[in-house]
């Protein structure tokens, strides 16, 4: 059966609502692509320009911030893949002593996320000498309960016979993971990867605390420093900078909309 | 030892070895810090190289006497109380629209979901412009309609609601996709039966849709609640807690006390309060959600 047709009045409300929802972004796009004089003057004839983007790009070390963010999100993602895969495999396949208690303990981290523990984690990083390093920004997130949970779930659905077959051929645990589990759980890795990258691309508080130099600052912190320190910067340039920092993720989302939504969905329903 | 028993012993050792890196990291950055936060809240803030003296519950006494703490707690509860139901209601409405037969469905979905992808800091800076006095879009529209020119973020009465709007704007589209998935799981024959009996739209919603998406509502509600207690990015980017602490929320206050005032003992006590609040939500989730969701 097809879903019910939405009533005309309700359709109108939906559209009004969608417009309202899009308004802040449309407004930012308008300001960013027009000269500052037109930032709040809406005329069809207003000339288009990329000047605001050029200005923002040159006024702060955004190229470096981009590099930092890219290194950070990829580094975290790869480290999460390795650490969480190993733990998830152990928990999914082997009934070792204390496995159930361990799993319950891991789930606690779903609630007590690292951003609530900023104070103690900062002191730990101080002791390790990792303040103001990209490793320091990423390390509290590497062992992610969420990732372990997600991967364990999908590993459990892989038939055990495949496992036994691999062992018959003399494959070690690591070889089994690499040859059997990784390929079969690929969609889960894609989903987890997308969620992880979007989370850490957008993460702000922890990198704000840990970083204090251009060489380590990710985009979000760089944008905030740029927007708050430079009083002389006008709104058009700030809007351009804000859109620029979200640009790659937004474009990726627009291109792979379905994959993104599926990933968030898969990741959310536990 | 027989080969079989040796094998089994091997499994225990190998299992722990596989989990070891994750266990070490989780202990170092979650469990030990959480316990240490509670312990540190019983000590004074360290001055110089002397170890901090044990002060018992003194930090909590000053916490009870601290009007800013009460303000932050009050603001946070208000934040949760208003953003959670609104985000739930709006995301369900969005999902119902996008799930039905409606013109321009892809455009609607895009408009609702896109704010979710944006970094909160970027969104906050855009909204900052949106809220600006005199020439921000909101005031331009308001003035054109005959309303007064409001300093949205500068007035204690409107600053917190202004931040709430940003949170709801970013969250609703995210929660929408969970409702969408839930709506697609409702067995079509339920609607078919309702259609046979000529049931009104509101009745269909109340008797079929709402009960069928209840697990999603609980899931979304818990998540929105957790998020409400972790709001901090937009406070830093938009108001800095002002005016007059009108937008100071718990996590922001912890950040301020720890990293601007460096009062670590007091920050630990504040963190303990936040941890307790999150633990309460976790317990609520355990009792409400565990019936519906299978962890194994």
Asked whether the predicted pLDDT for residue A138 surpasses 90, the reply is yes
Q: What is the mean pLDDT of chain B?
A: 85
CATH no. of A63-213:
1.10.3720.10
Q: Which residue of A has its CA nearest to B258?
A: A119
Better pLDDT: B10 or B229: B229
- Asked if the bond preceding B243 is cis, omega within 30° of 0, the reply is yes
For residue B293, list chain A residues with Cβ-Cβ distance below 8 A. Answer: 270
Question: Is any Cβ of chain B less than 8 angstroms from the Cβ of A111?
Answer: yes
Yes or no, beta carbons of A14 and B97 under 8 Å apart: yes
Under the banding of pLDDT at 50, 70 and 90, the label for residue B204 is confident
Q: Model pTM?
A: 0.88
Using DSSP's 3-state secondary structure scheme, residue B43 falls into: strand
Q: Which of A262, A208, A187 lies closest to A65, judged by CA?
A: A208
Q: Which residue of A has its CA nearest to B205?
A: A4
Q: How confident is the model at residue B88 (pLDDT cuts 50, 70, 90)?
A: very high
Q: Average pLDDT for residues A9-33, to the nearest whole number?
A: 88
Q: Can you read off the two tokens belonging to residue B188?
A: 């079509």
User: Helix, strand or coil for residue B246?
Assistant: coil
Q: In sequence order, which residues have a C-beta less than 8 Å from that of residue B91 and are 6 or more positions away?
A: B171, B172, B173, B174, B175, B176, B178, B179, B220
Q: Of A131-145, B208-222, B247-261, give the lowest mean pLDDT range.
A: B208-222
pLDDT of residue B155: 86
Strand pairing partners for B54?
B43
Domain B58-289: what homologous superfamily? MetI-like (1.10.3720.10)
Q: Which residues of B touch A228 (CB under 8 A)?
A: 237
Asked whether residue B293 carries a pLDDT value surpassing 50, the answer given is no
Residue A120 to residues A29, B28, B39, B70, B141: CA-CA distances in angstroms?
Answer: 40, 10, 11, 23, 46
C-beta separation of A102 from B19 below 8 A: yes
* A74–chain B Cβ distance below 8 A for any pair: no
Whether the pLDDT of residue A106 is over 50: the answer is yes
Chain pair A-B, CB pairs under 8 angstroms: 276
**Alpha-carbon span A72 to A67, nearest angstrom:** 8
* Greater model confidence, A105 or A128: A128
- With 70 as the cut, is the pLDDT of residue B4 above it? no
Report the alpha-carbon distance of residue B19 to residue B16 in Å, rounded: 5
- Region A32-51 average pLDDT: 78
Proportion of chain B above pLDDT 70, given as a percent:
94
Cβ within 8 Å, pair A120-B36: yes
> What distance, in Å, lies between the first and last C-alpha atoms of chain B?
34
The per-residue pLDDT for A270 is 43
pLDDT in tens, B207-222: 888 888 888 888 888 8
Find the helix or strand (DSSP H, E) in which B239 lies: none
Give the pLDDT band (50/70/90) at residue B24. very high
Shortest CB distance from B119 goes to which of A21, A91, A245? A245
Residue B43's DSSP bridge partners are B54
Q: Mean pLDDT over residues B95-106, rounded? A: 86
Shortest distance between the Cα of A83 and any Cα of chain B, in A, equals 6
HEC readout, chain A: CCCCECCHHHHHHHHHHHHHHHHHHHHHHHHHHCCHHHCCCCCCCCCCCCHHHHHHHHHCCHHHHHHHHHHHHHHHHHHHHHHHHHHHHHHHHCCCCCHHHHHHHHHHCCCCCHHHHHHHHHHHHHHHCCCCCHHHHHHHHCCCHHHHHHHHHHHHCCCHHHHHHHHHCCCCHHHHHHHHHHHHCHHHHHHHHHHHHHHHHHCCHHHHHHCCCCCCCCHHHHHHHHHHHCCCCCHHHHHHHHHHHHHHHHHHHHHCHHHHHHHHHHHHCC
B137-188 residue pLDDT tens: 788 888 888 787 788 888 888 899 999 999 999 999 889 988 988 888 888 8
Q: What is the mean pLDDT of residues A217-242?
A: 83
- Measured between beta carbons, the chain B residues lying within 8 angstroms of A122 are 258-259
* Residue A105 touches chain B, beta carbons under 8 Å: yes
Cross-chain CB nearest to A109 (options B30, B37, B191) = B30
Instruction: Mark which residues 219-248 of A lie under 8 Å from B by CB.
Output: 219-221, 223-224, 227-228, 235, 238-239, 241-243, 245-246
> Who among B14, B25, B188 is closest to A143 (CB)?
B25
Does A144 score more than 50 pLDDT?
A: yes
The domains of chain A are located at 63-213
pLDDT at A4 over 80: no
- Least confident residue range of A5-9, A66-70, A98-102, A204-208: A5-9
- Distance between start and end Cα atoms, chain A: 28
pLDDT tier at A229, thresholds 50, 70, 90: low
pLDDT in the model for residue B1: 45
Q: Angle at the Cα of B235 (from A61 to B117), degrees rounded to 5?
A: 65
Give the gap in angstroms from C-alpha B124 to the nearest C-alpha of chain A. 9
Averaged pLDDT of chain A: 85
Residue B14: the pLDDT is: 83
What pLDDT is recorded for position B290? Answer: 56
Residue A50, pLDDT > 70, answer yes
Whether the per-residue pLDDT at B29 is higher than 60: the answer is yes
For position B273, what pLDDT does the model report?
A: 92
Cβ pair A124, B33 in contact under 8 A: yes
Range with lowest mean pLDDT among A37-41, A85-89, A168-172, B286-290:
B286-290
Task: Report the residue of B119, B241, B250, B268 to disrupt the A interface, i.e. the one with the largest count of A CBs within 10 Å.
Answer: B119
Percent of chain A's residues with pLDDT above 90: 27
**CA–CA dist B33, B40 (Å, integer):** 10
Chain B: residue nearest A42 by CA? B137
- Residues A105-131 have a mean pLDDT of 87
């Amino acid at each position: 059966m097809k879903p019910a047709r939405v009533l005309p009045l309700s359709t109108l409300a939906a559209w009004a609502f969608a417009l309202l929802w899009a308004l802040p972004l449309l407004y930012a796009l308008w300001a960013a692509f027009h000269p500052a004089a037109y930032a709040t003057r809406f005329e069809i004839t207003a000339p288009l320009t990329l000047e605001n983007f050029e200005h923002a790009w040159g006024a702060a070390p955004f190229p470096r911030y981009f590099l930092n963010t890219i290194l950070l999100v990829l580094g975290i993602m790869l480290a999460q893949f390795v650490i969480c895969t190993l733990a998830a495999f152990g928990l999914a396949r082997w009934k070792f002593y204390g496995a159930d208690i361990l799993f319950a303990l891991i789930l606690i981290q779903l609630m007590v996320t690292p951003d609530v523990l900023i104070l103690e984690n900062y002191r730990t990083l101080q002791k390790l000498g990792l303040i103001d390093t990209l490793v320091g920004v990423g390390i509290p997130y590497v062992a992610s309960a969420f990732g372990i949970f997600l991967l364990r779930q999908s590993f459990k659905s892989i038939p055990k016979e495949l496992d036994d077959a691999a062992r018959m051929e003399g494959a070690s645990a690591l070889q089994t993971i690499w040859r059997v589990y990784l390929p079969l759980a690929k969609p889960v890795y894609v989903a987890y990867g997308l969620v992880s990258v979007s989370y850490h691309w957008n993460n702000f508080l922890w990198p704000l605390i840990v970083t204090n130099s251009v060489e380590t600052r990710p985009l979000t912190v760089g944008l905030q420093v740029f927007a708050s320190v430079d009083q002389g910067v006008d709104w058009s340039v700030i809007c351009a900078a804000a859109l620029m920092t979200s640009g790659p993720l937004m474009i990726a989302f627009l291109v792979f909309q379905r994959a993104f939504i599926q990933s968030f969905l898969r990741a959310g329903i536990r | 030892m027989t080969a079989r028993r040796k094998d089994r012993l091997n499994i225990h050792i190998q299992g722990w070895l596989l989990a070891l890196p994750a266990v070490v990291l989780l202990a170092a950055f979650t469990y030990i810090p959480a316990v240490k936060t509670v312990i540190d809240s019983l000590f004074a803030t360290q001055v110089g190289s002397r170890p901090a003296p044990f002060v018992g519950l003194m930090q909590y006494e000053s916490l009870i006497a601290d009007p800013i703490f009460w303000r932050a707690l009050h603001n946070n509860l208000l934040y949760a109380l208003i953003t959670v139901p609104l985000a739930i209601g709006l995301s369900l409405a969005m999902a119902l629209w996008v799930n039905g037969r409606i013109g321009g469905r892809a455009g609607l979905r895009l408009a609702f979901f896109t704010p979710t992808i944006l970094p909160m800091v970027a969104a906050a800076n855009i909204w900052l412009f949106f809220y600006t006095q005199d020439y921000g879009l909101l005031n331009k529209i308001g003035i054109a309609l005959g309303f007064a020119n409001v300093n949205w973020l500068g007035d204690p009465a409107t600053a917190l609601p202004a931040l709430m709007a940003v949170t709801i704007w970013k969250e609703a589209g995210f929660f929408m996709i969970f409702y969408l998935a839930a709506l697609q799981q409702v067995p079509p024959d339920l609607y078919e039966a309702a259609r046979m009996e000529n049931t009104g739209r509101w009745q269909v919603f109340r008797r079929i849709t709402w009960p069928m998406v209840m697990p999603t509502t609980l899931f979304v509600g818990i998540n929105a609640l957790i998020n409400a207690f972790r709001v901090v990015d937009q406070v830093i980017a938009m108001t800095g807690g002002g005016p007059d602490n009108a937008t100071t929320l718990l996590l922001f206050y912890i950040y301020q006390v720890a990293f601007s005032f460096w009062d670590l003992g007091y920050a630990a006590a504040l963190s303990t309060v936040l941890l307790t609040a999150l633990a309460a939500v976790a317990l609520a989730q355990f009792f409400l959600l565990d019936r519906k969701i299978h962890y194994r």
